[in-house]
Structure 1
């Protein structure tokens, strides 16, 4: 292998005996592992309820396997809440839905201390965030003080009450939803809060044929999802994702596209200097590595490809950018910036091994 090129390394293990039925394979021809089969089965089960939102389903599962939090943005009625509750059912974890409103206070989320006169002592009442899946529905309807109460929950996965730290269940994920079209009674998420989310996924309206499928499935007896995973299996899948190989040149590619949002003039993007106020944080680099590992596992590989980085870059980086007022006035969006970066910063090339026959013929000559 040349130093300037990347190539996924084979794991060198002896392949297991072939199953009775052929296992699905990834585009490179590698048979899907048991972890991949479980993840695909979970996605298929969610898709029996959720129609036409395959990208949203895949991204939320990526966030779950990558141990990150997810922000879903879309207009009402596109199955954001239903997707999260269905995913919680399929993966077998406990589920809590928090409906954010302007009159919410932090103790409604994380819990509080209550004085009991009969015992003359304070008892801790833990809040509804103590669940495997926490759905923060319409998170931008709550004021900043309530939103900031989730910072410790999301970053440290713990809650401090009365000087005592209470760990959250493991696995733990916060999936928040927000409506992008309303302006009254809405509090935009602060930069620190947005940065805690591994990814932000835009949820569009379904297309015509998907809308027809929704009518067929949901107008009579809606389908009921079945449990495929459990919290212990889910933790094992998270560990499997952490073992997915990331080549040094893939890591270098991730660093280059993140740095291009901070120092655009060093990457042939000098015109973005007037557009970007703040570039992507180091959490973007860490998030890209974790998310691409999860995506590779779902797609049946034990190594990350440059295409995995390109697929997830918008979801992981766009919401971390802060644009200048001039850029906002010109209608430039963070997605436009990420697309420009991906088009300019070259990815490493992936070179596959030659077939054995070709290699043997070359050796004979």
Structure 2
């Protein structure tokens, strides 16, 4: 890992207090070429996390506030007739950016959700029959509020599977909250401009380097054993697909790279399982009645599988 990447992580952690692991997971997903679903109550810094990442990687940032009346064309764009030019003109939507914050994605109907998720998967958008590619570096962070369900449209399991990670943002500790408050007050008095740590071209080079991180046959077997085990446990009604195994492998490569290694270890795999699987598996009704927690279930499952040596 380059010194620039080390500096980026340090700068990121200085700006967003109390979310060290989630910040690194967010960067991991971006470098792995995936997208992230962020769950947390309002006011915990979800928007700031994503906006800061965009600035640090010199990426264009757009935010869409999802509402019940939002249309697919409000995201992708539309074609209008230009009276002056006597011709149709394509107006590209906010999805044509590097980093997109899809705020409260569960507040918009399935048709609009599907338009975003299709673009995430295909990395292209079709407007009036014409296909337009999205930028090479395209990262979506979608947020949802876990405590408010009135007037929401929960993402189906199949659509949640499109996200590489699901992150949970919790409240900071007292000491961290004091630090946040002091930082905001200082920033109001003495605003500082956050500068990009590297260009998008350098980011593409890093993504290529990440792909060179080695995954041994024993590690690949370990990942598959974990994923296949999710289909066998009684506590789990719906297990994870092969896409989950790919997600764990890709993100483990990035995590190893950020640790300045060119090989993946079992610990990398363990760290990636919870954010990679928590939105891809569903607990059985009896497990939910017993009060089982999805994260603890995943950790117990991983702990039951022999670690490769």
Please report the TM-score for the alignment, with normalisation by the length of structure 2.
0.95
Q: For the residues of structure 2 that align with 1:336 and 1:74, how far apart are their CA atoms?
A: 18
Residue in structure 2 matched with residue 75 of structure 1 by the alignment: 41
Residue in structure 2 matched with residue 51 of structure 1 by the alignment: 17
Q: Quote how far apart the aligned CAs of 1:190 are.
A: 1.2
Matched, 1:95 2:61: yes
Could you report, residue by residue, the CA deviation over 1:168-202 in whole angstroms, capped at 9, with x for unpaired residues? 00111101111101111221111222001000011
Matched, 1:255 2:224: yes
Residue in structure 2 matched with residue 29 of structure 1 by the alignment: none
Residue in structure 2 matched with residue 296 of structure 1 by the alignment: 256
Residue in structure 2 matched with residue 128 of structure 1 by the alignment: 94
Residue in structure 2 matched with residue 202 of structure 1 by the alignment: 168
Q: Quote how far apart the aligned CAs of 1:120 are.
A: 4.8
Q: For the residues of structure 1 that align with 2:274 and 2:187, how far apart are their CA atoms?
A: 37
Contact persistence 1:49–1:224 (CA under 8 A): no
Structure 2 gaps, min length 5: none
Could you report, residue by residue, the CA deviation over 1:78-107 in whole angstroms, capped at 9, with x for unpaired residues? 111001101100100111011111111111
Q: Quote how far apart the aligned CAs of 1:121 are.
A: 3.5
Q: Please, what is the CA RMSD of the aligned residues? A: 1.4
Residue in structure 2 matched with residue 242 of structure 1 by the alignment: 211
Between 1:221-230 and 1:188-197, the stretch displaced more is: 221-230
Q: For the residues of structure 2 that align with 1:92 and 1:57, how far apart are their CA atoms?
A: 17
Q: Quote how far apart the aligned CAs of 1:311 are.
A: 0.7
Matched, 1:316 2:276: yes
Q: SS at the partner of 1:113?
A: strand
Q: Quote how far apart the aligned CAs of 1:276 are.
A: 2.1
Q: SS at the partner of 1:221?
A: helix
Could you report, residue by residue, the CA deviation over 1:292-313 in whole angstroms, capped at 9, with x for unpaired residues? 0001111111111100010110
Between 1:230-239 and 1:107-116, the stretch displaced more is: 107-116
Q: For the residues of structure 2 that align with 1:325 and 1:109, how far apart are their CA atoms?
A: 36
Who wins on radius of gyration, i.e. which is larger?
A: 1
Q: For the residues of structure 2 that align with 1:279 and 1:183, how far apart are their CA atoms?
A: 25
Contact persistence 1:90–1:225 (CA under 8 A): yes
Q: For the residues of structure 2 that align with 1:347 and 1:67, how far apart are their CA atoms?
A: 27
Q: For the residues of structure 1 that align with 2:307 and 2:184, how far apart are their CA atoms?
A: 43
Contact persistence 1:250–1:304 (CA under 8 A): yes
Flag as ranges the 4+ runs of structure 1 deviating above 6 A.
none
Q: For the residues of structure 1 that align with 2:37 and 2:4, how far apart are their CA atoms?
A: 24
Could you report, residue by residue, the CA deviation over 1:273-305 in whole angstroms, capped at 9, with x for unpaired residues? 2x3221111111111111000011111111111
Q: For the residues of structure 1 that align with 2:32 and 2:144, how far apart are their CA atoms?
A: 22
Q: For the residues of structure 1 that align with 2:89 and 2:81, how far apart are their CA atoms?
A: 6
Q: For the residues of structure 1 that align with 2:108 and 2:164, how far apart are their CA atoms?
A: 21
Please report the TM-score for the alignment, with normalisation by the length of structure 1.
0.81
